[in-house]
Structure 1
Amino acid sequence: MKKVRLLVSLARKGAVGKKVRVTVRELAEELGVSPQTVLRLLNEMEEEDLIEKSVEGKRTLVGVTPEGANFLRALCDEISEALSTGVIVGEVVSGLGEGAYYVKQYSPLIQEYLGFEPYLGTLNVRVLFPKTVFDALCNVRPVIIPGFTKGGRTFGDVKAYRVRIDGVEGAVVVPSRTVHPPKIAEIIAPVNLREKLGLKDGDRVRIEVVE
């Protein structure tokens, strides 16, 4: 694990494809280990052809080898796969109180496209795993609830992803115009999820994406 962290740290410093100047003390502080441990790790990684290093005067130059870069690439792929499990773990939080209004406006379309009459409100969950809502939903095709105009106001398209919480069916809804991946999952369901599941702010929940 320490070798992986050290290799990632070197990559962050721009050491992929070229050698960069590093100090053992700086690397030790980043990893929370002793300078002696860093020296041992660097020597082992050099033997494993993950890095190459040289000393020029008082400067230590370290570069990530093609083998080390391939290791990082494979690690990245494995992490991406692990994060795309279709599961969201988070904690219940209070919203801004706007959920009921918007659910009411979209209610006829939610019934048409998702097949249930929604409770007028949303359950808001702060995502703890994976990093954002989209990391769990990236491999799932959403149901697009089309936008409309009402009373001179335009309501945009909404992406809906079917989910299940403790056996209760619902959907994570995300405005199509969202630019940044959301950290809050807004969930609609045919019931009041807080009451049905006895949830309060701070409670942990596990959300399963239904494909």
Structure 2
Amino acid sequence: MEIDGIVTTGYGRGREFLSQEFYSLKFKEKLDFKAYPGTLNIIVPDEYIDEINNIKDSCKSKIKGEDNFGGVKYIKAILNNEINGAIVFPEKTSHDTNYLEFISKEKLREKLNLKDNDKVNLKFKEW
């Protein structure tokens, strides 16, 4: 699956959960990179929501939560044909269903000079 979306500012919770050692260690183990403590938030067109929900529901890759932090499903993806990472689907989220959160080892806004409302492309690698 390949979709375009629009960069937006999140709530800052991605930084909090990716700073937790158990998430950090598991993502390193499963994805072969230490995730930058933060997510790139992307709004996707409503026409993709059903397909994204099907992918999320059938996704087998999951990290169990600890304490007050919920579990998170993830799927490998590529941003703008150059950045390997993953789309994460936290069990606990305040985002609408048309938000995706992308993680990688890089601070993406800085590396790609991204600002709110910039268009980006995501390619799902597996599901």
SS in structure 2 of the partner of residue 154 of structure 1: coil
CA distance in 2, matches of 1:98, 1:144: 18
Higher helix share: 1
Q: With the length of structure 1 as denominator, give the TM-score of the two structures.
A: 0.51
62, 78, 96: which is aligned to 1:144?
62
Counterpart AA for 1:147: G
- Contact map agreement 2:79 2:122 (CA 8 A) in 1: yes
Higher gyration radius (CA): 1
Are residues 164 and 129 of structure 1, via their aligned partners in 2, closer, same or farther at CA, if it must alter by over 3 Å?
Answer: farther
RMSD: 2.2
98, 101, 114: which is aligned to 1:186?
101
Counterpart AA for 1:111: K
- Contact map agreement 1:145 1:159 (CA 8 A) in 2: yes
CA distance in 1, matches of 2:125, 2:48: 19
* Paired residues for 1:123-202 under 5 Å: 123-128=40-45, 130-132=47-49, 135-136=51-52, 138-139=54-55, 141-148=59-66, 153-166=67-80, 167-176=82-91, 182-202=97-117
The unaligned stretches of length 5 or more in structure 1 are: 1-85
What percent of counterpart residues are identical? 36
- Contact map agreement 2:64 2:72 (CA 8 A) in 1: yes
CA distance in 2, matches of 1:116, 1:177: 23
CA distance in 1, matches of 2:8, 2:41: 6
Counterpart AA for 2:54: C
- Contact map agreement 1:93 1:124 (CA 8 A) in 2: yes
* Paired residues for 1:23-62 under 5 Å: none
Number of matched pairs: 120
The unaligned stretches of length 5 or more in structure 2 are: none
The higher relative CO (CA closer than 8 Å, separation ≥ 6) is in 2
Deviation at 1:154, TM superposition (A): 2.7
CA distance in 2, matches of 1:177, 1:97: 14
- Contact map agreement 1:117 1:190 (CA 8 A) in 2: yes
